[in-house]
Structure 1
Amino acid sequence: MKLPPACCRLQTLGAALGVCVTIGFTVQLLGGPFQRRPPPAPAGRPPPAPCAPHTHLMFLKTHKTGGSSVVNLLHRFGESRGLRFALPHRYQFGYPNSFRADRVKGYRPGGPPFDVLCHHMRFNLTEVQKLMPKDTFYFSILRDPGFLGESAFVYYRGVAPAFHRAPSLAAFLTSPHLYYHPQTRGNHYARNLQWFDLGLPGPGENQSIEKTLNQLEQTFNLMLITEYFDESLVLLRDALCWRDEDLLLFTQNQRFVGKKTPISASQRDQFRAWNDLDWILYSHFNRSLWRRLEAYGAARLRSEVARLRHRRAAGARRCLQGGGPVPAQLIVDGHLRPFQPPGGRAQILGYALRAGLPPGERQRCARLATPELQYKDILDRRQFGGGNGSSGGGGGQ
């Protein structure tokens, strides 16, 4: 992305350049009062009409798909605008049981609707509609089960009996039915997890796959795809009439991989076959996403994705110690230390803030780095008292 001409003219002046970069980053991070400039209209067409940002949002956070990063984005968007979140009493809405409106803290029948619903649940549209406005924008995120399967195996090995009983990933993939019993508690993590999170009927429940997919198309305005995360965000930004600044995020709940050998192509195919319903679901909405992206235009898409990544990289350099994620044990501020799954088989990375950040900027950077559980507590205190949503610990809260 080219720097604005004013900044370019100041490149030879070290002190002035520092001011320019700082101001530029602050505008990117905070957003300020500026709306995103729409792309120029093709010759002969009028420019697009201005639109208002969408603020009624239902995001179905599916497991091991990158949804935690989207939730952080929604947390910051909603907090900065004083939106009302539908929050669980703890951290999930009775999952893995089907969602019920009465599991939302502060919900009462006939009461005022909520603005944002984005925490883990097993989706139930009828119950969701009891608390969200009619103009709510519904979206979710899906991941190729060839990759999700391996991530779930590592992350949930301590809680999914099917994974725990298998001596290794290879052994599980060779004979998954040997270890998997569908009625055993926790085994929903071991097969067709995305299908389960969407609250869809299981095999033999007398509903065709085609009808199920059609119903999802009618319910969800957009399905993001993990493998094309930034491209998906570009479509989301335009659909919601958000600013570029609203899409700034740092990847949350990222697993440390190190020098571990990735799973083979044949193992990915085995996971796709085992998670057959998830593969159908993913394939359908991956095609749907790419129809939208092709309509968006290849050159325009490349430009928008590059701008998005440029902003993210600039934010990371400005905010983060080392410019990226670090192991949890290196994060001194407990408010920024991510949750680690039971069993210790997966190491989840987090973020440590650079030393010496001015207080206001430190607060903004901390919000970008705050894990989901801690951010939910911030929002809870803001909506229901018990604090003002901030505490010590170096600005992490």
Structure 2
Amino acid sequence: MGFWGKYRDLGVKYRDFGARYRDTDYAPPPSSAPPPSGHTPCRPRSHVVFLKTHKTGGSSVVNVLSRYGESRQLRFALPHRYQFGYPSPFRAERVRGFRPGRTFDIICHHMRFNLSEVQRVMPNDSFYFSIVRDPGTLGESSFSYFRAAAPAFRNSPSLDAFLSSPWRFFRPGIRGNHYARNLQWFDFGLPDPVEPQKIPGILQNLERIFPLVLLAENFDESLVLLRHELCWPRFSVDSFAHNSRDRGRSRISAEQTRRLRAWNSLDWALYSHFNRSFWVKAEKFGIARLRKEAEELRERRRVLAGKCLKGGGPVPPKSIAAAELRPFQPPGGGRILGFALREGLQGEERERCGRMAMPELPYKDLLERAQFGGNGSGSVGG
């Protein structure tokens, strides 16, 4: 059975925590001050394309988008299963309920990006954004998480062994090996191999499609910029860190980081480009203002974790009694942490905490039930 086929054996019927959110769950208090002088009022965007890249913090972003969209009864472009035919390029027919001329409000689940096909599904005024991570750390995370999926990783006894002689283990074109090299470049649907002199032009064109690309290393600052780009309420980006890994005592060395960046040279070019563009936007926004809002976001997260979560943070899956809150565990990979709700939560507070704690897969099923009825239980790969 393949890596993603493991989902089919979960056998969990995810239950709904209750009625859908009211808009007031995200609306600012009535006494909120007007926009600062010089700031033009904006209209919230409801047409959003998020390219969810692997092992970059994208699951936390999907949770934000899922809660916002559900609270406003927006229509999600959902896969028939849990991904849009990944690793094949995205096609509009992979969207449940798609028909020519019909568009959706939000698309945010795993795909290999294909602009022309996404445009068949999403309105012309959609806001496109994504997230990237330094391949020096992403590569180590991928080695652990995708060990069973990528033959290049599976056949290597350790990360050090792989990095000392990657071509001994890696064969291009073998199913699953896209996880082992330039994974972000692959997720963006970019050509590989590519002539080095063409890379700057490719990245400049990509930036025209994606006016904002978040940085995993500056996640809270990224959420602040995203919120302002979308013109969403301040509390709409409050979130917990989903899909985090229990690393134990493992640490990546400077030499491993250097080798991972060299092995994933296209990802390093991609990350470097969007790292620069991110900080250009941050300077324009105002660094002091950005840091202040990011710290306010972190403080709200601390308060919410204390209110909502047993133990105040992520816990091992065996500590999570509610089946619908247990995150998927990759076969052969590192243990993925999740969230258990504090006892005694009631009503709207339990509902909001439950939505913030809910992993991506059961939340997708919940959204599917709301839009299409039925049990909303899918399986990965379609």
2:214 is the counterpart of 1:224: yes
Partner of 1:325: 314
SS of aligned partner of 2:213 = strand
Distance in 2 between residues matched to 1:201 and 1:233, nearest whole Å = 29
Kindly state the Cα deviation for residue 244 of structure 1 after the two structures are TM-superposed: 1.1
Return the index of the structure with the highest Cα Rg: 1
User: 112, 127, 142: which one pairs with 1:137?
Assistant: 127
User: 298, 315, 326: which one pairs with 1:337?
Assistant: 326
2:94 is the counterpart of 1:103: yes
Alpha carbons 1:28, 1:311 under 8 Å: kept: no
Kindly state the Cα deviation for residue 243 of structure 1 after the two structures are TM-superposed: 1.1
TM-score relative to the length of structure 1: 0.86
Structure 2 unaligned regions, length at least 5: 1-20, 378-382
SS of aligned partner of 1:71 = helix
User: 120, 141, 151: which one pairs with 1:151?
Assistant: 141
Distance in 2 between residues matched to 1:27 and 1:311, nearest whole Å = 20
Distance in 2 between residues matched to 1:277 and 1:193, nearest whole Å = 9
Partner of 1:359: 347
Distance in 2 between residues matched to 1:259 and 1:333, nearest whole Å = 28
- Aligned pairs for 1:100-249 (under 5 A) are 100-111=91-102, 113-204=103-194, 208-249=198-239
Kindly state the Cα deviation for residue 48 of structure 1 after the two structures are TM-superposed: 2.1
Kindly state the Cα deviation for residue 33 of structure 1 after the two structures are TM-superposed: 5.5
Distance in 2 between residues matched to 1:348 and 1:318, nearest whole Å = 22
SS of aligned partner of 1:140 = strand
Alpha carbons 1:29, 1:248 under 8 Å: kept: no
TM-score relative to the length of structure 2: 0.90
SS of aligned partner of 1:139 = strand
SS of aligned partner of 1:362 = helix
Alpha carbons 1:256, 1:346 under 8 Å: kept: yes
- Aligned pairs for 1:61-80 (under 5 A) are 61-80=52-71
Alpha carbons 1:141, 1:223 under 8 Å: kept: yes
Partner of 1:310: 299
User: 27, 34, 43: which one pairs with 1:32?
Assistant: 27
Which amino acid counterpart does residue 196 of structure 1 have in structure 2? F
- Aligned pairs for 1:35-54 (under 5 A) are 37=33, 40-41=36-37, 47-54=38-45
Kindly state the Cα deviation for residue 50 of structure 1 after the two structures are TM-superposed: 1.7
SS of aligned partner of 1:349 = coil
Kindly state the Cα deviation for residue 285 of structure 1 after the two structures are TM-superposed: 0.5
Give the length in aligned residue pairs: 356
CA RMSD of aligned residues (A): 2.0
Distance in 2 between residues matched to 1:90 and 1:255, nearest whole Å = 24
CA 1:28–1:350 in structure 2 vs 1: closer, same or farther (change >3 Å)?
farther
Extract structure 1 runs of 4+ deviating beyond 3 A.
Answer: 26-29, 32-39, 204-207
Alpha carbons 2:27, 2:233 under 8 Å: kept: no
